[in-house]
Structure 1
Amino acid sequence: LSLRDARMLCGTLKRGSNDIRKGYAIEELQDLPTDFDARTAFPNCSKVIGHIRDQSACGSCWAFGVTEAFNDRLCIKSDGAFTELLSAGEMNACTLFFGCGGGDPYSAWSWVHDKGIATGGDYVAKDDMTKDDGCWPYDFPPCAHHINDTKYPKCPEGLYPTPNCVEQCHNPKYTTTLRE
């Protein structure tokens, strides 16, 4: 993995610390455990928390980070009642930054707060989609990132273009509208 290749996949744009709202009280943390595994601490959410996604050849790590953190929190808050995967694809396409060329976690959190986020997990070819794949599954297939792998094809050179943000589900078999 060359430095250039690694930089292409690191798509987080940095903001100044003044842009971050601090609306929480600082707590003194005592008696912290020596280790913590959220999958065992929240067993009703272990599949959601332990699910590993693939951003493919797209610098959408910022979108994945926010989507997965919110997905985990939503599952934990509902005590496992909500286990659908949320859409890193919608986050990547719609938060009005550079999509596959980089994004901003702060703006992604603002998107979640203001608009919500659609369901949709990993990549599924359009012809193979079912209602269970959610509204907006990820747009790009998994690929082998700079390693020899028999499970996935080699990632393409360069980054995929950012998908267009549309106000409808990408999955034709999903019956709920995007903002329901």
Structure 2
Amino acid sequence: MKTIIIFFTLICFVYGSRRYVDNGLHPLSDEMINQINSLGTTWKAGQNFDGVSLNAVKRLLGVPSRSNKASKRPLRYIHHRNTNDLPESFDSRTKWPNCTSLTTIRDQGNCGSCWVFSAIEAMSDRLCIHGSIDVLLSTQQMVTCYGDGCQGGWPESVYGIYQEEGIVSGGLYQGGGCSPYTLPPCEHHIKGPLPTCPDTYLPAPECKKECVAGYGKTWEQDKYYGQEPYAVGYDQKQIMKEIMTNGPVSADFTVYADFPNYKSGVYQRTTYDSLGGHAIKIIGWGTENGTDYWLVANSWNDYWGDKGYFKIRRGNNECGIEDDVVAGLPKL
């Protein structure tokens, strides 16, 4: 009996140590931001979405609910045997400084295409890391020609297309490559230099499997291919070893109502209210003021959060971020 009491005391301590904001606060309100900051947690909140509706924020979250996992592409798991050489911190941008994609924060625009961006960004990184090919692969191709585009999907699907059909080059809005992104960037957040995002989705562009005029290559000539995609084990050391060895990975997590207000520090949720699922790219890890974190690149342009990046608590599967880590190597 004494053992049981001690066990439940420990459980209450672990879960009771995290403090939560009051229910009923509007996620984007100053009241929510002030209360998050008053908790003295490991991160700071600030206004990222001034004048933007909550529905507009939810539209950026393009990963289906976890109850729909049966629709995901099945993947084999890999396992790294030696995880004893992991450094305390790691940043892919520092390890591979010649890769443009690693320092590029993309903007999915007014579209729930995070599932595409998460995969395409990591693919571009690894093409440079393993093949010394410094190119941005096309998010446009996947958004317009496969799946539900702006309505969401799984990063695994993008890796499957990479392996089976190939993906052409294509950068940011009006950028370079065979098929650059055609959905314009817009202000999801505070008032800035970009036009305000519309209240509804723009219609998905027509699928055109042809390079822009004057590019110099045909669609088929420009394709890059990947090897068989795989999933990485839930253990944080497995994820760390994979990033350090092969480059950034794709992942998804549940976005809670406080997350849109992230500004700095190591995020851990302070609310029970979820908004939806979101896919991102993990590029490294570290420890800040005693709290272990993942270093993550978002796709809401570099006006959001910490210049487009955020840190999230590592090792406790915060918001499910360690559940669905996927990756793949380029076929060279």
- Could you say whether these structures have the same fold, taking a TM-score greater than 0.5 normalized by the shorter chain as the test? yes
The CA deviation at 1:28 is 4.7
Which residue in the other structure is 1:106 paired with?
156
Q: Report the CA distance between 1:102 and its aligned residue.
A: 1.0
Provide structure 2 residue ranges, at least 5 long, that are not aligned to the other structure. Answer: 1-48, 222-332
Paired amino acid for 2:110: A
Is 1:147 the counterpart of 2:176 in the alignment? no
Partner of 1:64: 117
Which structure has greater helix proportion? 1
- Secondary structure class of the residue paired with 1:158: coil
Aligned sequence identity (%): 40
Moved beyond 6 Å, runs of 4+: none
Secondary structure class of the residue paired with 1:16: helix
Structure 2 residue 204 is the aligned partner of structure 1 residue 162: yes
Residues 168 and 179 in structure 2, CA contact (< 8 A), matched pair in contact too? yes
Q: What is the CA-CA distance between 1:31 and the residue it aligns to?
A: 3.6
State the superposition RMSD in angstroms. Answer: 1.9
**Other-structure match for 1:176:** 217
**Using the alignment, how far apart are the partners of 1:100 and 1:19 within structure 2?**
19
- Aligned equivalents of 1:158 and 1:68: distance in 2? 26
Offset from partner CA, 1:81-111 (integer Å, 9 cap, x none)? 311211111111122x110111221111100
Whether the 8 Å contact between 1:89 and 1:136 is mirrored in structure 2 is yes
Alignment-mate amino acid for residue 90 of structure 1? Q
Q: Secondary structure at the match of 2:78?
A: coil
**How far apart are the structure 2 equivalents of 1:27 and 1:160?**
47
Q: How big is each residue's C-alpha offset from its partner over 1:100-158, in whole Å with a ceiling of 9 and x where there is no partner?
A: 1112211111001111111110111xxxx7xxx11101011111103211x21111111
Sort the Cα spacing of 1:40 and 1:177 in 2 relative to 1 into closer, same or farther, 3 A. Answer: same
Contact kept? 2:56, 2:199, Cα under 8 Å: no
In structure 2, the CA distance between the partners of 1:85 and 1:27, relative to structure 1 (3 Å rule), is same
What does residue 39 of structure 1 align with? 93
Which AA in structure 2 matches 1:160?
L
User: Displacement of 1:26 after TM fit?
Assistant: 4.6
The answer to which structure has the higher strand fraction is 2
Partner AA of 1:32 in structure 2: L
Please tell me whether residue 134 in structure 1 is matched to residue 150 in structure 2. Answer: no
TM-score, normalising length: structure 2: 0.47
Greater CA radius of gyration, 1 or 2? Answer: 2
Letter paired with 1:165: C
Asked whether 1:115 is paired with 2:168, we answer no
Q: Deviations over 1:35-80 (max 9, x none)?
A: 11101111222x22111111110111111111001000110002xx
State the distance in 2 between where 1:120 and 1:18 align.
26
Shift of residue 17, structure 1, vs aligned partner: 8.9
Aligned AA for 1:36?
F
Q: Which runs of 5+ in 1 are unaligned?
A: none
